[in-house]
Amino acid sequence: MFYWIYDIPSVALALIITGAFVAFSWLGTIFIRPFLRVFLRKRADINDLIGYMLSCFGVFYGLLLGLLAVAAYQNFTGVETIVSKEASSLSALARDVSAYPEPDRTNLIWLLRDYTRYVVKYAWPAQQQGMIPQEGNTRMIAFHEQLIRFEPSTPGQEILHAEALRQFNNYLEARRLRLFAVTTSIPGVMWAVVLVGALMNIALIWMFDMKIVNHLFLGGILSAFMGLMIFLIASLDNPFRGELSISSAPFQDILTHLMEE
Amino acid sequence: MPPRRSLPMRLRSAWTLLYLAIFALSGCEPLNKARDVLTKSDQERKTIKLGILHSQTGTMGMNEMSLRHCEVLAIEQINASGELSNVDLVPVVKDGRSKSDIFRRRTRELVDVEKVDVIFGCWTSLHRKAVIDELDNPTDLFRTEPVARNSAQPHKPLLFYPLQYEGFEVNRNVFYFGSTPNQQILPALDWFMSQQGGSRKRVYLIGSDYLFPRTANFIVRKYLEKQSMQVVGEDYLPLGHSDFKDSIRRIAETSPDLILSTINGDSNFYFYKQYYESGARPDSTPIVATSVGEDELRRIPPEYVHGHLAAWSYFQSLDTPQSQEFVKSFKRAYGLDRVVDDPMEAAYTQVMVWKEAYKRAKSSDPLKIREVLEKGLEFDAPGGKIKVDPKTHHLYKKFRLGKTGLDRQFEIVYESKDLIAPDPFPSFAFPGWECDWTRNGLTKGPMPTIGL
């Protein structure tokens, strides 16, 4: 729904989210606070009361934000590990097939090159748009067809072939996990709770009774921090989207190597 | 102690600071990009899907992969050049899996689901005919959307086909970028009959047993009826055949001074190997092949093919700036060990020609593109100038004859002076048949007995 935010550069996104929170907080302080004061100013200890409420609420909300940030970070690093495992398997597979006799060697290297180029130039941008790339599957089938067509004729070739098939299966497993990760993200309902929580937090700030300049300053700081936390979670969520995303660099390295094979 | 400034004064200073901050940030690239994303002020870009339909798997997978690479390369180059302003070409690649019914199904997907206006594809005549038939007579079983019964003009994309082929076919919605027999095989025979080619008089025809070799050799036999050369033998072997001993014995018995080979695929390796091992050499009886290009040569040890010839319109060794640029860009994209050949050049050219037509038609609509092409569009391809024949939807092309070297490349020994007009229905082979899409379309004559 809000995937367009990943098209915005990180610095600008941080400024926009933080700015939006601060602006919302300030607008409320200027326009809503006067109405709230009519009801709340009757009590002398209103600031203490709201302070307790805010502390209590802040603990729960902070916990929610903290846990979400950790979960998003863990998911991000998990997917990063999958991608690096996948790239390692692909690299090992390329090394194995480069020892095959001709013409199988050239055919297999060309097919791997074709696949890796597709991953770098087409699959990765598709993933960044939240789409699961489909065409890689056909290229993998073509590679598998060529691989199983090879008939080892020496004990050395038999060992090499068995190792290549094992690497190929490892690669397929890692690839499948990467494709599953493309659409992995924090559920919409959690985002809704985070945003409603932020609104309630800011609304509590509006209820304080103090000088307007102090109110704007303190409310602004708290809102800015909330905005920054939400920016952090949003950036780490959807590991393939946005500027802060997992790059195709490991595959680019393999492609560069394969091009020189 | 300095006097405190009044509130309005302080507010004015604050606003000035805010303005200055906004002014400073307006030069900030990330914020400019954010503004574009948020306001969508970036000019709306149009996306045009181009269908690419080749076998990626199955027996034809390796061959057709090279064609796909050239088509995708052309699309990437067009996108990178920005020649089509505000248009992004998107290749939609489908796998025909070397099976005709899968080619049909994928054609239907490209038409019904992807809504493409053009399909670049196929290698074998069997698959081409399946795709054309599916475009002309959609199979209800493969349809993914209900048949629009009231639609007066159902959506029918154009098919661009890159291979040399047997001719005897035209279709209003198909453009053929490969050579016809009168642009490839007959000029080769003419050269061998000339003094320069050794004034040869006895030719042996050998080919794989399918549509192209049978039809091509039918045309050759008819052509040679009134020439100084005679056909001394004719042999057809199944695709993938590996034992050519009987054929080579028959060749030796009939003593030809030229072998015209329309053998396709991996069989070429075995044929050249066994021919070499039989002691025959190209000096006395050369083989001129119509389906062996640079891509096929990499699978055959050079000593087996050294000195034999191939008839095409394009060779990688063609020394022109356009050709060298094409070779360079292909190697840059797909690897330094890759080679290009005639079908690959045609695959690349057909995308570039579509782009030229799009620029003139200002639309990807198949009818408008066809209209532009039917005006006889000319284009500087890597193989030199080509021209679309409005009458038959084939190309005016040059003929070239190459001799195989030990470096797995061809040395061009002959090149036609002018472009040769395509003739899918040579009158000596198909009397009464002719085509002119600018006038009456296809005129059919009596059905020839080709012997398929």
CB contact under 8 A, A110 and B335: yes
Q: pLDDT-based confidence at A258, cuts 50/70/90?
A: confident
Kindly tell me the burial class for residue A71, based on how many C-beta atoms sit within 10 Å of its own C-beta (0-12, 13-18, 19 or more): middle
- pLDDT reported for residue B27: 55
The distance from CA B355 to its chain's CA centroid, rounded to whole angstroms, is 15
CB contact under 8 A, A141 and B30: no
Q: Looking at the predicted structure, is the pLDDT value of residue B148 above 80?
A: no
Assigned domain for A9 exists: no
Mean model confidence pLDDT for chain B: 90
Closest CA to B296 of B39, B123, B94: B123
- pLDDT reported for residue B272: 96
Chosen for mutation from A7, A8, A13, A107 (greatest number of chain B CBs closer than 10 Å) is A8
Assigned domain for A28 exists: no
CB contact under 8 A, B34 and A16: yes
| Tally of residues, chain B | 452
Kindly tell me the burial class for residue B407, based on how many C-beta atoms sit within 10 Å of its own C-beta (0-12, 13-18, 19 or more): exposed
Helix/strand/coil percentages in chain B, nearest 5: 40, 20, 40
Bigger pLDDT: B15 or B250? Answer: B250
User: Mean per-residue pLDDT for A88-109?
Assistant: 92
Judging contacts by C-beta atoms under 8 Å, the chain B residues touching residue A141 are 56-57
- Whether chain B has a CB inside 8 Å of the CB on A23: the answer is no
User: Mean per-residue pLDDT for B176-196?
Assistant: 97
CB contact under 8 A, A110 and B299: no
User: Mean per-residue pLDDT for B176-200?
Assistant: 96
Instruction: Let me know: does B134 contact B141? Beta carbons within 8 Å.
Output: no
CB contact under 8 A, A103 and B298: yes
- Whether chain B has a CB inside 8 Å of the CB on A2: the answer is no
- pLDDT reported for residue B18: 57
Chosen for mutation from A104, A114, A149, A256 (greatest number of chain B CBs closer than 10 Å) is A114
Among candidates B56, B69, B338 on the partner chain, residue whose Cβ is nearest the Cβ of A142: B56
Bigger pLDDT: B42 or A110? Answer: A110
| Backbone φ, ψ for residue B64 (5° rounding) | -75, -20
CB contact under 8 A, A7 and B37: yes
ipTM: 0.84
CB contact under 8 A, A103 and B299: yes
User: Mean per-residue pLDDT for B125-134?
Assistant: 94
Q: What is the largest CA-CA distance in chain A?
A: 94
| Smallest Cα distance from B81 to chain A, Å | 17
Residue of chain B whose Cα is closest to the Cα of A144: B57
- pLDDT reported for residue B177: 97
Domain hosting residue A88, numbered range:
36-259
Judging contacts by C-beta atoms under 8 Å, the chain A residues touching residue B336 are 259-260
- Unique residue bearing structure tokens 């080892």: A152
How many Cβ contacts (< 8 angstroms) between chains A and B? Answer: 67
Domains and CATH numbers, chain B: 46-179+322-388 (3.40.50.2300), 181-312+401-443 (3.40.50.2300)
- pLDDT reported for residue B6: 58
Residue of chain A whose Cα is closest to the Cα of B26: A12
Mean model confidence pLDDT for chain A: 91
| Smallest Cα distance from B382 to chain A, Å | 23
3-state secondary structure A161-199: HHHHHHHHHHHHHHHHHHHHHCCCCCCHHHHHHHHHHHH
Chosen for mutation from B73, B95, B336 (greatest number of chain A CBs closer than 10 Å) is B95
- pLDDT per position as a tens digit, A46-87: 888 889 989 999 899 999 999 999 999 999 999 999 999 999
- Unique residue bearing structure tokens 């209820």: A207
> E strands of B97-219, at which residues?
118-121, 158-161, 174-176, 202-208
Assigned domain for A129 exists: yes
- pLDDT per position as a tens digit, A192-212: 999 999 999 999 999 888 888
Q: Looking at the predicted structure, is the pLDDT value of residue B41 above 80?
A: no
A:182-221 residues touching chain B, CB 8 A cutoff: none
Q: pLDDT-based confidence at B122, cuts 50/70/90?
A: very high
| Smallest Cα distance from A53 to chain B, Å | 33
Number of H helices, E strands in chain A: 10, 0
Cα angle A192-A194-A198, degrees, rounded to a multiple of 5: 115
Percent of chain B with pLDDT over 70: 87
In angstroms, the Cα distances linking B75 to A189, B88, B327, B386 are 42, 9, 16, 20
In angstroms, the Cα distances linking B404 to B279, B421, B450 are 18, 27, 31
| Smallest Cα distance from A229 to chain B, Å | 20
Among candidates A10, A106, A142 on the partner chain, residue whose Cβ is nearest the Cβ of B57: A142
Q: Looking at the predicted structure, is the pLDDT value of residue B39 above 60?
A: no
- pLDDT reported for residue B114: 93
CB contact under 8 A, B57 and A141: yes
User: Mean per-residue pLDDT for B82-103?
Assistant: 93
User: Mean per-residue pLDDT for A93-107?
Assistant: 92
Taking the C-alpha atoms of residue B161 and residue B122, their distance in angstroms, rounded to an integer, is: 6
Assigned domain for A21 exists: no
A:144-173 residues touching chain B, CB 8 A cutoff: 145-146
Among candidates B30, B57, B76 on the partner chain, residue whose Cβ is nearest the Cβ of A9: B30
- pLDDT reported for residue B1: 46
Assigned domain for A42 exists: yes
Instruction: Let me know: does B422 contact B204? Beta carbons within 8 Å.
Output: no
Among candidates B33, B57, B336 on the partner chain, residue whose Cβ is nearest the Cβ of A8: B33
- pLDDT per position as a tens digit, A180-192: 999 888 888 999 9
Among candidates B33, B65, B336 on the partner chain, residue whose Cβ is nearest the Cβ of A9: B33
Assigned domain for A233 exists: yes
CB contact under 8 A, A145 and B61: yes
Assigned domain for A14 exists: no
- Whether chain B has a CB inside 8 Å of the CB on A139: the answer is yes
Among candidates B29, B62, B335 on the partner chain, residue whose Cβ is nearest the Cβ of A259: B335
* Cβ neighbours around B304 below 10 Å, total: 19
A:46-105 residues touching chain B, CB 8 A cutoff: 103
CB contact under 8 A, B335 and A16: no
User: Mean per-residue pLDDT for B229-234?
Assistant: 96
Judging contacts by C-beta atoms under 8 Å, the chain A residues touching residue B56 are 138-139, 141-142
Percent of chain B with pLDDT over 90: 78
- Whether chain B has a CB inside 8 Å of the CB on A114: the answer is yes
Taking the C-alpha atoms of residue B351 and residue B358, their distance in angstroms, rounded to an integer, is: 10
Q: Looking at the predicted structure, is the pLDDT value of residue B380 above 90?
A: yes
Assigned domain for A20 exists: no
Q: Looking at the predicted structure, is the pLDDT value of residue B22 above 70?
A: no
Count of the separate structural domains present in chain A: 1
CB contact under 8 A, A103 and B336: no
Judging contacts by C-beta atoms under 8 Å, the chain A residues touching residue B299 are 103
